[in-house]
Structure formats: C-alpha cells, structure tokens
Structure 1
Amino acid sequence: MQQDKHPEYRPVVFRDRAAGYAFLTRSTATSEQTIEWDDGESYPVVDVEISSESHPFYTGKARTVDSEGRVARFERRYGGGPGEGSGPTG
C-alpha cells in the first residue's frame, strides 16, 4: 500500500436527525463539528438524513406494492387470463 494516498480512517459519529439516533463507527468521513460521546471523548459528527433507525424498510413501515392490481391490469390489457388459450393449460 502506498503511503499518503489514502484518507485517514478514524472514529466518527453518524447522527440520524430524523430518528434522534447516533452511532459511533470508523470512517473516512470528515466534519468540522464535534460531539462528546458516552466515553467522554470528542469525535467528529456527520449528520445524515436517514439511517437504519428511520428507513421505512428497516422500521417495518414500508408500503406494499399493489401487485394484484398490476397483474389484473396486465391481463385485461393483453389477455392471458385463465381459459383464454394462452399458456400450457389453456
């Protein structure tokens, strides 16, 4: 590995403003702001819009797609419903 070509990898706090959640991890992200963490040390803090704490997929609040309506619309438009002679059984 060549020296002085890679950014510094250090502890950084990522703060999800939507969920009010923060977590400490290692990253190359930089910030002028700092925050005092639970261990008494100050770390750079990066504010993010969304994390696993506020993302609908991870919180279980994701919307489901109306796939049945899409299939029915496709069959109306292009035929292919049961008994119409399409597919291996018709």
Structure 2
Amino acid sequence: MPLRPICAPRWPLAVKVGSQANKITLNAVCQVQVRQAASKEEIKQSYRRLAQIHHPDRFSSLGEESVAAASQTFVRIREAYDYLVKYA
C-alpha cells in the first residue's frame, strides 16, 4: 500500500534568504498540515498526529519498501516540525 504524499511541491527545508524563505515556510506548513498562523501548540498537535500515522514501525508488516517510504515521510514531517517550532 503506497503512502500518498502529504503535499507537493517540496522544496528543501534549509534556511534560505529572499523569496526562497517563503517557499520553505509554506512547504513546512504544508508538511505538518497546519495553517500559516498556527500557534506552537497547534503545530505540536498536528505533528504528533502525523507522526503516529506515518511512523515506520506501523508499516513493518508490509515490507521494506513500505517502511522506507514511511521513513522518508516521517523524516520530512520531523524536519518541517523542527523548522516551524524554531522559526514560528
């Protein structure tokens, strides 16, 4: 069962300057599925919900390919959460 992408397009979650900063923030907001004006508590709740859904251990019975896909999604969600908590 392939995982559907959380949102697209994806930009790197590195700190950039200029217009790239807006794209990074929008991508992080999209990954964690919160509105742009979300509070830290809303971001945390959404992260925990998504982390439970996409945690690789939940897909261990479906094979290595599913675990790898879940791992990538989980890492993107974690990076987005870290970015939003740091800069929100």
Give the TM-score of the pair, scaled to structure 1: 0.19
Greater RCO (CA < 8 Å, at least 6 residues apart): 2
TM-score, with length taken from structure 2 = 0.19
Bigger Rg, which one: 1
* Higher helix fraction (1 or 2): 2
Higher strand share: 1
